[in-house]
């Protein structure tokens, strides 16, 4: 139950998979820049092994919306807000 745990608000910075183009491209068009994503929400600790789990909305009766499971290998930083 979400209300029984401390609700820790976090900012997770992570690198996502992404496409380089919408069709055929030249090899020189492939860059080495990551797709940096910033996710803000409440941390749900110990919910899924190997993942940082963040929920963006929680109701008073523990309804959850927008639960995001980010593989730990993609996470660059987690900061408590």
Each residue's pLDDT tens digit, 22-76: 899 999 989 889 999 999 999 999 999 999 999 999 888 889 999 999 999 999 9
Measured distance CA(33)–CA(2) in Å, rounded: 37
Residue 21's contacts (CB-CB under 8 Å, 6 or more residues apart) are: 29
The dihedral region occupied by 62, where left means phi > 0, alpha psi between -120 and 50, and beta the remainder, is left
The pLDDT value given to residue 5? 52
The pLDDT value given to residue 43? 95
The pLDDT value given to residue 6? 63
* The CATH number of domain 2-17+34-80, selected from 2.30.30.520, 1.10.3720.10, 1.10.1740.10, 3.40.50.720: 2.30.30.520
Count Cβ neighbours within 10 Å for each residue of 5-22 and write b for 16 or more, e otherwise: eeeeebebebeeeeeeee
Domain ranges of the chain: 2-17+34-80
- pTM (2 d.p.): 0.83
pLDDT band at 20 (very low <50, low <70, confident <90, very high): confident
């Amino acid at each position: 139950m979400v209300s029984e745990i401390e609700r820790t608000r976090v900012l997770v910075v992570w690198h996502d998979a992404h496409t380089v183009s919408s069709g055929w491209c030249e090899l020189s068009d492939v860059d080495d820049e990551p797709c940096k994503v910033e996710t803000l929400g409440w941390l749900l600790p110990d919910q899924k092994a190997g993942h940082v789990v963040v929920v963006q909305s929680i109701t008073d009766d523990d309804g959850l919306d927008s639960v995001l499971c980010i593989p730990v290998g993609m996470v660059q930083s987690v900061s408590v807000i």
